[in-house]
A = this chain, B = another copy of it.
Amino acid sequence: MRIVIVGGVAAGASAAARARRLSEAAEIILLERGPDVSFANCGMPYYLGGEIADRDKLLVVKPELLAGRFRIDVRTRSEVVAIDRAQKIVQVRDLVHDRLYEIPYDKLILATGAEPLKPPIPGIDLPGVFTLRNLPDIDRIKAAIDRGPQYAVVVGAGFIGLEMVENLVRRGVATTVVELQDQVLPLLDPEMAVPIAEQLRMHGVKLRVDQSVAAIAPADGGLEIHLSSGERLSAQVVILGVGVRPESKLAVAAGLEVGPRGGVKIDAHQRTSDPDIYAAGDLVEVSCHVTGRPTQIPLAGPANRQGRIAADHIFGRESRFRGSQGTAIVRVFDLAAATTGLSEKTLRRAGVPFAKSYVHPNQHAGYFPGATPMTIKLLFAPSDGKLLGAQVVGNEGVDNRINVLAVALQAGMTVFDLEEVELAYAPQFGSAKDAINMAGFVAANVLRGDCPQVYPEDLHASSPGDPLGPFLVDVRTPAEFAAGAIPGFVNIPLDDLRARIEEIPTARKVVVTCQAGQRGYYATLILKHAGRDAANLAGGYILYKRVHRQPC
């Protein structure tokens, strides 16, 4: 049995090592176009920034180890240029000696990954414009930054784009981010990305959202970047981080089926439309764990698992990939933002019915020093409360909570289950009612009808005197109210509400708010018990400001 693997980073290296563990007899040939296999692509921005000081650290598994320990025939600088499916042969170009040769295979695993998008913009190929995929790319970028440029522009405010921004700032380069969508971190919903935008501004990063790069032109000592708004930015370095697309050229040329976004179609065992050819990693189309629909989710974790599954199936095991749920996290300076499952945007696009809820709990007991709030957004089925997605943003404990929510989502748990989750509590680590329990309570209260809510985007300011609109009550303290409030709201502090309830017209719907939502919940219940038609403003004043894009 000869297994040929094309691509040696996450999925390819995993498949190779797994194949060897399953068989000592198999011949395993790993072909990698670049100079390195199994390198830490997620670490590259931190090598640029200096947090990872030693480049060697990025070489997680070296070819010698794959060769010595796993008896894998590793051939770097070796590009597969064609697949002859009838003959079961790949044609390989040895990039060092520039010669072509052929390798017959019994089973072929494609793990060619995804390539950075390069939009067809004038000047995109100028010196000083970079994309980031492998170590030679980061070497080039690092060399450019080592020359001490004053200004950089990062195009694309996704996870990798912002990691590059953080590290450019760390290197002392004044950085502007240009993003096509009207928010940073487009994988998150816009209101969840607002704290990240604030954080970037706080660190001196200039944001240009809802804009594209129209052209890049050479300018005195650098580049001039022309934005769609007409604005022109000067920079010595431009880094493109506008996304990736499956590198499926080879698969397409071989006549393998691909999806509408170019991802190679596979079955649950990673097998392509040719039963002797498997594909794994960023080049494949995966099924979304939530909707079951095909999508592209380029992530290292699923890539590793897919490589493993492909090897398993070659050796007769029935391992199945259960779909990807897109769990991801990014640190942006002092904040972290994370997501699992579907976002509100994606649910809308997919036409999946959903409800949502927000909480702003501390990461650990408020009485212990260092407590800081995070925001948790849950997306769930209105029918039964099944979790559809979640997003978390905050300073600390974000990884912990997104992981809990990722497992809950994988397990098919509901928001009612989250009320009951028994998490670890000591003052340094959590609360007797953990942030996750709080998120569950609020969502479940909505579904049970205990506390109806109004979303901030649906709240249209009305004056207290307008008998057609809802009567708006802010139950924070007078000091909090004076420091900033939503137009149209009347201040009746929670602890005065029972005494002053007659100030609220009985015939009108009432919308209540507070800072984070909890006092609004108490107030809503008091009003409901008094027979009023009351609802709580989801996420309170904090969320209102984010939805309406006010500084927070």
Show the binding face of A for B, using Cβ within 8 Å: 10, 21, 23-25, 40, 42-43, 46, 51-52, 57-58, 60, 68-69, 71, 159, 163, 289, 299-305, 322, 324-325, 327-331, 336, 338, 340, 365-369, 397, 399-400, 402-404, 406-408, 410-413, 417, 419-430, 432-434, 436-437, 494-495, 498, 522, 525-526, 529-530
A426 touches B301 (CB 8 A): no
Which B residues are in CB contact (< 8 Å) with A365?
40, 42-43
Q: Which residues on the B side are within 8 Å of A367 (C-beta)? A: 40, 43, 52, 57-58, 60
Known: A71-B498, A402-B424, A411-B413. 6 other contacts (CB 8 A): A10-B432, A24-B529, A51-B368, A159-B426, A289-B422, A403-B430
B530–A425 CB distance below 8 A? no
Report yes or no: B429 in contact with A331, Cβ–Cβ below 8 A: yes
| Known A68-B495, A365-B42, A408-B411: A399·B427 in contact at CB below 8 Å | no
Do the beta carbons of A324 and B422 come within 8 Å of each other? yes
30 intermolecular pairs with C-beta atoms under 8 Å apart: A42-B365, A42-B432, A43-B427, A46-B368, A51-B369, A57-B367, A69-B495, A69-B522, A163-B426, A301-B423, A301-B425, A301-B434, A303-B432, A322-B420, A324-B422, A329-B424, A329-B425, A329-B426, A329-B429, A331-B428, A331-B429, A336-B428, A399-B424, A399-B429, A400-B400, A403-B403, A403-B436, A407-B421, A407-B423, A410-B417
Return A133 CB to nearest CB of chain B, in Å.
Answer: 17
In angstroms, Cα B417 to Cα A289, docked, is: 14
Kindly list chain B residues whose C-beta atoms are within 8 Å of the C-beta of A68. Answer: 495
Which 3 residue pairs are nearest across A and B when measured between Cβ atoms? A411-B411, A329-B424, A24-B529
**Quick one: closest B residue to A411, CB to CB?**
B411
Closest to A496 in B: B68
Q: Which residues of B contact A327 (CB under 8 A)?
A: 422-425
Q: Which residues from chain B contact A302 at a C-beta distance below 8 Å? A: 422
Question: Do B525 and A21 have beta carbons less than 8 Å apart?
Answer: yes
CA distance A498 to B421 in the complex (A): 48
Chain B's closest residue to A445 (CB) is B21
A48 CB, min distance to chain B CBs, angstroms: 13
Contact of A429 among B40, B43, B336, B525 (CB under 8 A): B336
- With A71-B498, A432-B10 in contact, is A40–B407 under 8 Å at CB? no
Q: Which residues in B have their C-beta under 8 angstroms from that of A324?
A: 422
Report the Cα distance A406→B404, complex, angstroms. Answer: 9
Q: A301-B434, A494-B69 are in contact. Are A422 and B400 (CB under 8 A)?
A: no
Cβ contacts under 8 Å, A289 to chain B = 422
